[in-house]
Structure 1
Amino acid sequence: MSAISPIVKPVSQMQLAPGSVLTIPDVSWDEFELILEEMGEKRTARVAYSRGILEIMVPLPEHEKPKELISDIVKILLRRTGRRYEPFGSTTFKRSHSAGVEPDACFYIQNYQQMIGRRRLEPDDPPPDFAIESDVTSKTTLEAYEALGVPELWIYAKGELTIYSLQAEGYCSVETSPTFANLPLKQLIPDTVERAWLVGTVQALEEFETEITRIIACS
C-alpha cells in the first residue's frame, strides 16, 4: 500500500467566507511568523496567536461600522478628557515566541510621546495602552492581549460592551473603564452604535459628544 502524502496548501490560498474563523492548533512561533509573511499586510483577515493556537478571522461587513464608530468615540473621550494619544489601528503586535494579535483599533496614551513618528514597531516598544475588538470573544484573543500586557481591552459583541482591565491574575471584567473613570460607557456605547444604524454615524457621534460633555460638566 502506498503512503498517503499530506496536502499542503498556503494559508493565503484558503477561501474564507466573511464571518468565519479558522483555528489551527500546534503552530510554532516560526510557523506563525511565516504565515504572517505569506498573508501579507493588505488583507481583510486578522489573526490572533497564543499558546500554539492560531486563529484567522474574516470579519463580516457589518463588523466595520461598530469598530470605526467605537474608535471615533474613544477619540472624542480622549479629547474631552484632555489627553493626547497616538492611534495605531490594526497594527500587528507580537511578543516573541509567545503571542500575536491585530486589534480593530488601539491607542497609545501614557506612552504616546514615545510612539510619535514610529512607522514600524521596535522590539522594545511598549504595548498599546488601550485596544478595541468588535465581534471577537475567543479565549485565544484574550490570552494574546494578556501576554502582550495591554492594560485595557474593550470587546463589543452582540450589542454589548465588555471592559477588561489587566490585573495581576489576568484580565478582569469591570463595570467602568479605568481610562475613562466614572463614565457610563457600557450603556452609552451600545446605545450610540444602535443609534448610528438609525440616524447615521455623524449624528450619533454628535449626540454622544453632547451627552458626554453634559456628564463631565456635572461631575
Structure 2
Amino acid sequence: MEVDIGKGDVRTIQRGKTWAQFEYLQKGFEDTRGLKLCYYNGTIEILMPGAAHELFKKIIAILIEVFLLDRQIEFEPTGSMTRKREGTAAAEADESYEIQGAKLCVEINFTSGDESKLLCYQELGVDEVWFWEDGVLAVYSLQSDGYQKVSRSQISALAAIDLTIMSECILIGETSRIEAVNKFRQAHPIASD
C-alpha cells in the first residue's frame, strides 16, 4: 500500500485488488462524506481531499458554470457521481458535467497521482478530462488513439475558454471568487447578436 500526502490531501493506492474487493470497500465507505474512490486495472485509489482541494474544485466549477450560464448553454452538473463500467473501471471526479452530449471530468491533483487516471476515464468513455496541478489547468481530449493534451477544449460549448486566463482566474479565486469571476467574464465577453 502506498500513501501520499499533499496540501491536506491523503491518497492511498492499493494494487492487485479485484473488482469484488473494490465493491466491498466502496460499500464500507458509502457513508463517508467527501471520500473518493477509483478503480482501474486492479488498482484502488482512495482520496481524502483536504480544504485546498475542495476550494480549487469549487472555483473551477464556478468558472465553468458562469461561462455556460452567461451563454445560456444547458448543461447537467453531475458533480462527483460514480461513473462505472462493471468489473473494469470506476471513478468519482472532483467535478463533472454533461454538456451537449459530451462528458467532462475535472480532477484536482496535489499528491503523486498522475495522468494514468486517464486510462480509467478512457475506459469510462469520458470525452474530456481537465487536471488542475501546480497552478496550471491541463486539458485532455479523448481521440481515437486515447487522450491527447490540447490547448483548447474540444467540447464545442467550452472551446472559447482561454485556458491561460482560466488558470489565472483559478489562482485569483483562492483569495477572491468575485474578483476571479469578474476577470474571467472580462476575458470572455458574450458576443452580441
TM range (shorter): 0.7 to 0.9
Contact 2:56 2:174 (C-alpha < 8 Å) held by counterparts: no
CA 146–67 in structure 1, closer or farther in 2 if over 3 Å, else same: same
What does residue 54 of structure 1 align with?
44
Sequence identity percentage: 27
Runs of 4+ residues deviating >6 angstroms:
none
Structure 1 residue identity aligned to 2:104:
F
Matched, 1:194 2:171: yes
Matched, 1:173 2:149: yes
- Of Structure 1 and Structure 2, the greater helix share is in 1
Written as runs of structure 1 = structure 2, the 5 A alignment for 1:118-157 is 129-135=103-109, 137-157=113-133
What does residue 140 of structure 2 align with?
164
Q: What TM-score, normalized by structure 1, do the two folds share? A: 0.77
* Deviating more after overlay: 83-92 vs 134-143: 134-143
Q: What TM-score, normalized by structure 2, do the two folds share? A: 0.86
Contact 2:131 2:138 (C-alpha < 8 Å) held by counterparts: yes
Deviation at 1:28, TM superposition (A): 0.8
Written as runs of structure 1 = structure 2, the 5 A alignment for 1:110-125 is 110-111=100-101
CA 164–139 in structure 1, closer or farther in 2 if over 3 Å, else same: closer
- Aligned mates of 2:11, 2:161 — CA distance in 1: 33
CA 16–42 in structure 1, closer or farther in 2 if over 3 Å, else same: farther
The alignment of Structure 1 onto Structure 2 pairs a total of residues equal to 184
SS of corresponding position for 1:94:
strand
Contact 1:53 1:140 (C-alpha < 8 Å) held by counterparts: no
SS of corresponding position for 1:217:
coil
Deviation at 1:60, TM superposition (A): 2.3
Structural RMSD (CA): 2.1
- Of Structure 1 and Structure 2, the greater strand share is in 2
What does residue 35 of structure 2 align with?
45
SS of corresponding position for 2:174:
helix
Correspondence for 1:27 among 8, 17, 40: 17
Point out which structure has higher relative CO (alpha carbons under 8 A, 6+ apart).
Answer: 2
- Aligned mates of 1:176, 1:24 — CA distance in 2: 34
SS of corresponding position for 1:129:
strand
